[in-house]
């Protein structure tokens, strides 16, 4: 019987910077990644202190769409927030 590999999964990661407001990052984590306020705040603070943090884990297409939506929202709001994806 042929074995089917599970699809590779990707982490969507936010990077810290000195300019994006903390509230904006919390809003992004709530709105695009469906975290509650407390979890979003914890993830934001982790990124702020450690330089980067995982927002969620998705299949490739979903991860790529999340990155695009986050970057579009950040640019629209005039913030330099960076969002990337990596193989989990």
76 close to 28: Cβ distance less than 8 angstroms: no
Part in contact with ligand TYC (CB under 6 A); list of ranges 4-12, 19-27, 31-39, 63-71: 19-27
Closest by Cα among 84, 14, 77 to 49 = 14
Site string for ligand TYC, 39-78 (x = CB under 6 A): -----x--xx------------------------------
List CB contacts of 37: < 8 A, sequence separation 6 or more.
26, 30
Q: Please select the residue that binds ligand TYC; options are 11, 17, 27, 56, rule is CB under 6 A.
A: 17
Name which of 61 and 80 has its Cβ closer to ligand TYC: 80
Of 44 and 63, CB closest to ligand TYC = 44
Q: Please, which residues have CB within 8 angstroms of residue 36's CB and are 6 or more apart in sequence?
A: 30
| Chain residues in the site for ligand TYC (CB under 6 A) | 14-18, 20-22, 25, 44, 47-48, 81
């Amino acid at each position: 019987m042929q074995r089917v590999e599970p699809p590779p999964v990707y982490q969507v990661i936010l990077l810290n910077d000195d300019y994006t407001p903390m509230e904006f990052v919390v809003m992004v984590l709530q709105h695009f990644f469906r975290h509650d306020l407390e979890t979003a705040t914890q993830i934001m603070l982790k990124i702020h202190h450690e330089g980067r943090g995982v927002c969620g884990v998705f299949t490739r297409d979903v991860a790529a769409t999340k990155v695009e939506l986050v970057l579009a929202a950040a640019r629209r709001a005039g913030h330099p927030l960076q969002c990337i994806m990596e193989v989990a």
